[in-house]
Amino acid sequence: DAKTTQPTSMDCAEGRAANLPCNHSTISGNEYVYWYRQIHSQGPQYIIHGLKNNETNEMASLIITEDRKSSTLILPHATLRDTAVYYCIVRVPGGSTLGRLYFGRGTQLTVWP
C-alpha cells in the first residue's frame, strides 16, 4: 500500500493561505490522492481528490506534482473554522471496484486570529 507523510502540525494566520504538504512517493499510477479533515469529535469531512491534474472546488485547491510523488492542499483564505486535522490519503483499490481509505496521523492545522 502506498503511504503518505505529512507534517504533524502547522499554523496559519486567519485570512492567509494555508498550504498543507503531503508526500506519497510510492503511489501507484491508478491511485488517487484524497484529502479529508476532521474537526474535534466529528466525523471526517471530504475536501477534494485528484489523480494527475490540479483540482479546485469551493473548499480548496489540490496541486499534484508531475511525478505524483507529492501534493499540496491549499486553503486560499483560512478561517478559524478551518482549524482541524487534515488527512492526505492514497486510495488503495479493493473491495470490488471500491477502494478502502486508510488514515494516517494527519496534520493538525491551527488557524490563529
Residue 7 binds other proteins (CB under 8 A): no
Residue 53 binds other proteins (CB under 8 A): no
3-state secondary structure of 17: coil
Residue 42 is which amino acid?
Q
C-alpha cell at 62: 489540490
Distance CA 89, CA 20 (A): 13
- Find the binder of other proteins among 3, 16, 52, 105 (CB under 8 A): 105
Residue 96 binds other proteins (CB under 8 A): yes
Distance CA 89, CA 99 (A): 11
Task: Report the nearest approach of other proteins to the CB of residue 99 (Å).
Answer: 8
Site residues, other proteins (CB under 8 A): 32, 34, 36, 38, 41-46, 49, 87, 94-106
